[in-house]
Structure 1
């Protein structure tokens, strides 16, 4: 099974967004050395707790610092942008780093209206996302995966730079409807189980059932490819893992009450939630209340391995992409080291 990373560049409380971006670069180089398959960076705007509004910049920076890991966006929020511009940006990245670039696309619109309007000042309805699938198909044509029909406004328009091949195009989602739409386009799909665990089983099943093979010019027909995204909080002991997860638990607790801020520490979680709540373990298999589809795997390397393997086997996926928002950067790095060890990843040679 392939193991990959998706990084939202979380900003720990007491730190700065600039430091969070440096943390992303350091974690990406570690993931490359450890043998992870992909490293994707997210796009968030006007956020006090996520430092990455421009994944295309971070993708280039990470590619320049790594040797073999695939690097991409998780994902570019296509409803806000011109498909032609996105295609040219990622074609440049592909030209510089052939066969290592992923272009992941998302459709989520922002809840903060000023940020949406600032991104889409030319749109009559800045929050509309009904054109997402049209834009995906247009983008695929600009990348060379389709041809515009004769007479189309963009027929014959060739994005720069002209290069062999193209970035690998993915659609990201967290619902059954997004899975079905992606399947009918014949594109690879990444499902955010950490956001929509209640629809995971149905979404992955429907994606495979409804997949329509797409044949690009001069290439064999595509096959369904699905990645599962899950939160992971891993440490040497269950108690340490619970402490790592407590900051995220408080973060979610605050967000549900409309309080938006950086990722809190375990100490803050204990102070605000109480030790019993902040450090409460997730009940494991065999215990009443255990949910095999819980959105986060929290525990020792062996416990996390069992949880991820159980979920991947049940769903029939052969790639899992992991995510977390751990306050302490060193503990976050160690989480990914432990995960690489327990899954037996093969390390890559470091860049000279």
Structure 2
């Protein structure tokens, strides 16, 4: 099967461990992923989450870029709603100047945290426009193509790298896919949020109507030496969907987090639904077969694999079993 495989890391903190150790684990995993032939290594953005140590993917990316040689490194993604597009463009142009040809800028629309964190990130900042306008501005700052009548047309996001960061929009809707295509960005479907095949097909179809680039698919995937071992490691994975109002839902990692979200937005009448995330798991053959099937069915050009466990040894083993270049790794 002809597709690339890459890694998404949230820097999870194991029970009884520390954020410092989680970050050291992320570096070790990224270096191992490079050795095994993975194409990219991305960091997610999560705020005020006790189980995760990744609030600033651009900082983690800089640290890992400095201690790897070949693998592309970046964000999956920066939550653009919190930031001035100019500042994001500056940060990633700087990264691309430090590590030419190896930097990825993935952007997402979600808040990446509870309402209290979102409010704190917005403190002292002028109101932002729509996400679509923010993304267009970011693209303009990165490429130097802002319209002449734009209020910030004279601001250049320096340094200007010889190899611009590659740009990706993360989403799970036809609207996001179409926006990415219209801007000339790569599109990453977030199957770890919505793995419904009908939703994937609709988003990819919208992207292909405008773009000739192959879409990417981010999915939760975990392999162990046996299917039984994978099941033991995963346990009973759950996502808790908080229903606040008709059509308004939020996915959260625990009932406590769901209740806290409702409290922070001042809602007393809500419902919490326990769901099971879509996970590709089993031994190496089973997970590879599932990836092959998705590649055939949807024409996925690259998979971004998100391992749903915190244990370092288990994550290293999964990387090895799903390695795109197992012979080279052994050699």
| TM-score of the superposed pair, with normalisation by structure 1 | 0.79
2:213 alignment counterpart: 224
Q: Are residues 1:299 and 2:299 paired?
A: no
Correspondent of 2:35 among 28, 33, 36: 33
The answer to whether the 8 A contact 1:68-1:348 is kept is no
1:134 alignment counterpart: 133
Q: Deviations over 1:203-238 (max 9, x none)?
A: 112211243xxxxxxxxxxx4231111111201111
Secondary structure, aligned partner of 1:305: helix
Extract unaligned runs of 5+ from structure 2: 242-251, 259-275
1:239 alignment counterpart: 228
Distance 1:227 1:157, change over 3 A: same
1:277 alignment counterpart: none
Q: 1:157, CA displacement in angstroms?
A: 2.3
Secondary structure, aligned partner of 2:48: coil
Where do residues 148-159 of structure 1 align in structure 2 (5 Å cutoff)?
148-159=146-157
The answer to whether the 8 A contact 2:46-2:113 is kept is no
Distance 1:183 1:40, change over 3 A: same
Distance 1:163 1:169, change over 3 A: same
Distance 1:346 1:2, change over 3 A: farther
Q: 1:166, CA displacement in angstroms?
A: 1.0
Q: Deviations over 1:242-280 (max 9, x none)?
A: 111116x167699352358xxxxxxxxxxxxxxxxxxxx
Where do residues 154-193 of structure 1 align in structure 2 (5 Å cutoff)?
154-193=152-191
1:61 alignment counterpart: 63
Secondary structure, aligned partner of 1:45: coil
Distance 2:131 2:328 in 1: 38
Where do residues 32-111 of structure 1 align in structure 2 (5 Å cutoff)?
32-110=34-112
Distance 2:137 2:99 in 1: 23
CA RMSD across the alignment:
2.4
Distance 1:69 1:8 in 2: 18
The answer to whether the 8 A contact 1:94-1:100 is kept is yes
The answer to whether the 8 A contact 1:103-1:169 is kept is yes
Distance 2:282 2:330 in 1: 29
Secondary structure, aligned partner of 1:40: strand
The answer to whether the 8 A contact 2:36-2:325 is kept is no
Q: 1:67, CA displacement in angstroms?
A: 1.1
Distance 1:206 1:150 in 2: 30
Q: 1:202, CA displacement in angstroms?
A: 1.6
The answer to whether the 8 A contact 2:9-2:26 is kept is yes
Distance 1:25 1:236 in 2: 24
Distance 1:175 1:141 in 2: 23
1:116 alignment counterpart: 118
Q: 1:349, CA displacement in angstroms?
A: 12
Distance 1:338 1:349 in 2: 11
Distance 1:57 1:256, change over 3 A: closer
Distance 1:233 1:111 in 2: 24
Q: Are residues 1:312 and 2:310 paired?
A: no
